[in-house]
Every structure is written in C-alpha cells, then in structure tokens.
C-alpha cells in the first residue's frame, strides 16, 4: 500500500525537504499548486509552472502523483467569483477541467474532484456547504465536476474529499452520512465515484471513532467505493506535556485512524499533508496558545521520524 505526502513549491529549493519526499514517499502531490486560483488566476491565464515542477519531481523520482483539487469553496479566483450567470460559470468550470485535468491526464492517478462540499455542521436539512459553487449551480455542481473530470482524464480515479469524518459524535455521524448520500446520488445518476477521501486532519484531543469509521468504510465498499486518506496530520494545539506528550497523543490518534480505515480493507493510500514539522499549515491556523511549536507531521523539524510514521509503514506493509 502506498504512502504519500503533499509537497509545496515554496520550499522545493530546500534539498533536505525534497529528500524526505524522495526517500519516504510512493506518492508526491502538489499541496496547493493545482488549486483553482493558483493554477488559473485569470480567465485566460493558467500558471502551470509550479505544479509542473512538483509533478515532474514526482515522476522523475519514480513516484506516483495525484490532483488536489477542482471544486472547493476556498480558492475561487476573483475573476470567477465576479461571474453571475450560472451557464457561464458551468462553462468556465468545464473549461478549467479540460485545461487542467486534461494537461496532466495520465500523470495524476486520482483527483480530489470535490473538496469539502459538506456543510461544517452538516444539519440533516442542509447538508451542503454554502459556497460559490453551491450558490451558482446548486448541488448539481458535484455531478458536473465529476463528469467533467472523468471526461478530461478517463483513467484518473475520482475522489470526493472531506474533513471531520473520523471522530466520535453526532456531528461526525451526520457528516459521514452526508458523504454516503452524495456518493449515492452520484451513482444513481450513473456517475462514477471511485473513492472517498478522508482528509485526516486529526485533532489529538478528540477520540477517533474506530467502529463508525469501519461502518463508513463498509457502507462505501458495498457501493464499490474505496477509502483514501488524503491529508493526514495531527493538530495538537490542546495537548500539553511537551514533545513527548504531543507525540504520544499523535500516535494514539494515527493508530486509531489506521484501525478504523483498514477495517473495511486497505485504503488506496495513506497521504500526509507535508513531511516535516518545519513546514505545516497547522502552526499558522491552529497554533498552541502558549507558543509551543506544534508537531503535526511524520518527521519532526530536524527531520527525525515520529513513532507514528513507523506505525503507518508497518500497517501499509501488512495491508
Ligand atoms: C491548506 C494548505 O496546507 C496551506 O498551505 C494553504 O495555505 C491553505 O490550504 N483542507 C484542504 C487543504 O483540503 O487544501 C488545505 O490546505 C487544508 C485543509
């Protein structure tokens, strides 16, 4: 089973950073460089160079790669956000997919076609996130995007990716149910969906619901849909006890996630959201209140592997 990680163009010149991906990953993907606003900043301007550099690095080193992401509430470029006509927006979405997914066809084994389309709280009466896409096209933006990506790269696996799918509690049950429902609607419309992406941004202070993850994986498996862990890291902002305490809590979270995810059979891959604590979004967005550096990623800031990275390697070897 492959292990992978997301790499960032802004740190690419750091040879030590690059080496972590070269030495430990089977899959290396651009973290941000294929997001709509970065790769397509103006209506007639595509900025492929940073993504090209990262995908070339992956292939030149014998790695696989994947695409993140087409439809997302975040990263809608201003030129697109300024449009009002639903038909025009739909046309632009298709044009974007043809250009971006088409360009990398055959080189990215899967795409996060839709990212974070479930509402944060996911109430049963309004499970869809209020986003530019939802406002412009309604929930049919999801089938439109899946069909378009399938057309632009017929061999790429199509992934519905979301967060907060692994913890214990009613809100998480609702979010899991919403994902299954969206997948069912795609299939009812005869649209292919190959996998559900569990982002796996793990709050170390929250219990992973191993049983619920198992049921989730089984329900999807019955529909012919696999799981893939797409953005694994550990948010330890509420964990005290210094590095040893943070790493122990992280190992528990990651171990439980693996148990839950593997319950229905091995996932397509386990992918981390970076390799080293030197560079992570967690310290920017969810820092420790007291200034303690967070320890979200498989290798620490000096490049030493955490115990939980060894857990993943072992699990992926064993299947
Ligand atoms: C984050 C990146 O890690 C940051 O570098 C960037 O500034 C913002 O986006 N869920 C997702 C990812 O699907 O795309 C986000 O990545 C993190 C949350």
**Mean pLDDT on 83-97:** 98
Which residue among 273, 283, 286 has the greatest number of ligand 1 atoms within 8 angstroms of its CB, and so is best to mutate?
273
Q: Which of 138, 75, 58, 61 is nearest to 112 (CA)?
A: 75
Question: In this predicted model, what pLDDT tens digit does every residue of 174-201 receive, in sequence order?
Answer: 999 999 999 999 999 999 999 999 999 9
Ligand 1 contacts CB of residue 115 (under 6 A): yes
Label residue 292 by pLDDT band (50, 70, 90). Answer: very high
Q: Which atom of ligand 1 is nearest to the CA of 230?
A: 13
Question: In this predicted model, what pLDDT tens digit does every residue of 94-108 receive, in sequence order?
Answer: 999 999 999 999 999
Task: Write the residue with the smallest CA distance to atom 5 of ligand 1.
Answer: 281
Label residue 289 by pLDDT band (50, 70, 90). Answer: confident
pLDDT of the residue at 126: 87
Residue 317 structure tokens? 């070897």
For residue 69, whether the previous peptide bond is cis, meaning omega lies within 30 degrees of 0, is yes
Centroid of ligand 1 to alpha carbon of 107 (angstroms): 22
Q: Which atom of ligand 1 is nearest to the CA of 68?
A: 14
For 61, which DSSP code? T
Is residue 259 over pLDDT 90? yes
Taking the C-alpha atoms of residue 253 and residue 239, their distance in angstroms, rounded to an integer, is 12
Q: What percent of the chain has pLDDT over 90?
A: 97
Ligand 1 contacts CB of residue 32 (under 6 A): yes
Ligand 1 contacts CB of residue 65 (under 6 A): no
**Mean pLDDT on 101-129:** 96
Mean confidence (pLDDT) of the chain: 97
Strand segments, DSSP code E, in the chain are: 3-7, 27-30, 67-72, 110-115, 157-162, 195-198, 201-203, 226-235, 270-272
**Concatenated DSSP letters for 202-227?**
EETTS-B-HHHHHHHHHHHHHTT-EE
Q: Is 164 left (phi over 0), alpha (psi -120 to 50) or beta?
A: left
Label residue 52 by pLDDT band (50, 70, 90). Answer: very high
CA angle 242/245/251 to nearest 5° reads: 135
Ligand 1 contacts CB of residue 281 (under 6 A): yes
Ligand 1 contacts CB of residue 5 (under 6 A): no
Residue 310 structure tokens? 């060894």
Taking the C-alpha atoms of residue 225 and residue 206, their distance in angstroms, rounded to an integer, is 27
Q: Are 210 and 242 in contact (CB under 8 A)?
A: no
Centroid of ligand 1 to alpha carbon of 281 (angstroms): 7
């Amino acid at each position: 089973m492959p292990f992978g990680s997301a790499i960032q163009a802004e740190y690419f010149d750091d040879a030590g950073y690059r080496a972590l991906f070269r030495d430990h990953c089977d899959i290396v993907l651009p973290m941000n460089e294929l997001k709509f606003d970065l790769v397509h900043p103006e209506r007639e301007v595509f900025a492929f160079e940073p993504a090209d550099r990262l995908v070339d690095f992956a292939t030149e080193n014998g790695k696989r790669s994947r695409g993140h992401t087409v439809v997302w509430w975040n990263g809608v470029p201003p030129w697109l956000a300024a449009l009002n006509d639903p038909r025009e927006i739909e046309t632009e979405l298709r044009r974007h997919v043809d250009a971006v997914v088409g360009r990398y066809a055959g080189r990215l084994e899967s795409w996060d076609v839709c990212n974070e389309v479930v509402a944060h709280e996911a109430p049963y009466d309004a499970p869809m996130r209020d986003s530019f896409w939802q406002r412009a096209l309604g929930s049919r933006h999801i089938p439109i995007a899946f069909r378009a990506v399938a057309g632009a790269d017929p061999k790429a696996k199509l992934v519905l990716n979301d967060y907060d799918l692994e913890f214990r509690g009613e809100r998480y049950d609702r979010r899991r149910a919403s994902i299954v429902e969206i997948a069912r609607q795609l299939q009812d419309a005869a649209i292919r969906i190959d996998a559900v992406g569990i982002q796996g941004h793990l709050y170390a202070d929250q219990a992973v619901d191993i049983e619920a993850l198992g049921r989730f994986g089984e329900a999807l498996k019955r529909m012919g849909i696999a799981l893939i862990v797409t953005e694994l890291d550990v948010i330890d902002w509420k964990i005290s006890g210094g590095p040893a305490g943070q790493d122990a809590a992280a190992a528990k979270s990651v171990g439980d996630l693996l148990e839950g995810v593997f319950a229905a059979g091995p996932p397509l891959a386990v992918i981390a959201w970076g390799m080293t604590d030197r560079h992570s979004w967690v310290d920017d967005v969810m820092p420790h209140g007291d200034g303690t550096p967070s320890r979200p990623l498989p290798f620490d800031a000096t490049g030493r592997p955490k115990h939980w990275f060894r857990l993943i390697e072992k699990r992926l070897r064993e299947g």
